Amino acid sequence: KDKGKNSICFYTSDINDRLLHYQRITALLRSAVASGSLQLHFQPQIDLNDGEMRSCEALLRCFDENSQAVPPDVFIPVAEKSGLINRIGDWVIEAACKQLVAWKGTALEGVRVDINLSGKQLTNQHLADQILQTLHNHDLPPSQFGVELTENEVIGGDEEQIGQLERLKNAGVHISIDDFGTGYSSLVYLRKLPVCSLKIDRSFLHHAMENDSDMAIMQAIITVGHSLGLSVVVEGVETTEQDKLVKMLGCDLAQGFLYARPMPADLMPSYLTDMVRITKP
């Protein structure tokens, strides 16, 4: 309120303000879904063995009435709470497929797009069918599509929900556990889950430069991941020192501002032609 009528304050403890915030973001999301003003940005994932990009992550962007980006960490929780996440999630699936089709005939043909799924979406029993049907409608192979879920969302899931992930994986969809290491899972659990990749949460890398125990945790995740036949992706690589470290530790893929920030789809082709060379091992 101190900032004037039209400013937003995302972090407030006041219940009234929280309610206003919730109502405001809900209204914003409703109109964004209705008017089609949501956007996907894409962030390359780099194969550390050859510096190539074969997959990217789709990250949702929502803009307020002043065209200011509202961060997903702010609007996704509101979308989940209000139930709008299902409609928004459907939009993301459709938009990712449309983008893959639009990239046909460009340097990005054949790339895989990984979307983020909210645990709430998995409670929709038709989610797996819906994803496979959408891919089919766009004439896309499931191998060009991936989903990321956090470990708590996967482990908190019941058999029906795990079954859906299994169906997706069996059809060829790539399944990643996002922000790995920050949840409560035991590594043994991984054996039973339909998973292809682990994405190590960026907090480990950021501390690993100074902190031996974070480095040890990263090494352990990589070792266990590999011994279970999973590929290991590291998030949040920002510096060349971190790039060196993750290569030394044996990570398979990396994602981070050092290689590329999330960008609108139309910038991806020039990224591919201009930037990949910088990251060759």
Q: Which is nearer to ligand C2E, 88 or 108 (CB)?
A: 88
What is the residue-wise DSSP string for 258-278?
TT---EEGGGHHHHHHHHGGG
Is residue 60 at the binding interface for ligand C2E, with CB under 6 A as the rule? yes
Cα–Cα distance measured from residue 116 to residue 107, given in angstroms and rounded to the nearest whole number: 24
Piece in contact with ligand C2E (CB under 6 A), picked from 67-75, 127-135, 152-160, 181-189: 67-75
Q: Do residues 231 and 49 make contact, with C-beta atoms less than 8 angstroms apart? A: no
Name the 3-class secondary structure at 47: strand
Burial 210-219 (b: 16+ CB within 10 A, else e): eeeebbebbe
CB of 227 to Mg ion, least distance (A): 22
Among 47, 151, 153, 178, binds ligand C2E (CB under 6 A): 178
Among 43, 55, 116, 121, binds Mg ion (CB under 5 A): 116
Is residue 72 at the binding interface for ligand C2E, with CB under 6 A as the rule? yes
Among 178, 198, 243, 262, binds Mg ion (CB under 5 A): 178
Size of the residue set binding Mg ion (CB under 5 A): 5
Is residue 252 at the binding interface for Mg ion, with CB under 5 A as the rule? no
Is residue 118 at the binding interface for ligand C2E, with CB under 6 A as the rule? yes
Torsion sign across C-alpha atoms 152, 198, 163, 134: positive
Q: Do residues 202 and 235 make contact, with C-beta atoms less than 8 angstroms apart? A: yes
Piece in contact with Mg ion (CB under 5 A), picked from 110-118, 190-198, 215-223, 260-268: 110-118
Chain-centre distance of CA 21, in angstroms?
25
Q: Which is nearer to ligand C2E, 1 or 69 (CB)?
A: 69
Among 95, 256, 265, 268, binds ligand C2E (CB under 6 A): 256
Piece in contact with ligand C2E (CB under 6 A), picked from 20-28, 109-117, 162-170, 265-273: 109-117
Is residue 154 at the binding interface for ligand C2E, with CB under 6 A as the rule? no
Closest CA to 231 of 106, 55, 71: 55
User: How many other C-beta atoms lie within 10 A of the C-beta of residue 189?
Assistant: 14
Distances (CA, A) of 231 to 41, 220, 221, 223: 24, 13, 11, 10
Binding footprint of Mg ion on the chain (CB under 5 A) = 116, 148, 178-179, 235
Binding footprint of ligand C2E on the chain (CB under 6 A) = 43, 59-60, 71-73, 76, 92, 115-118, 148, 178-179, 202, 235-238, 255-257, 262
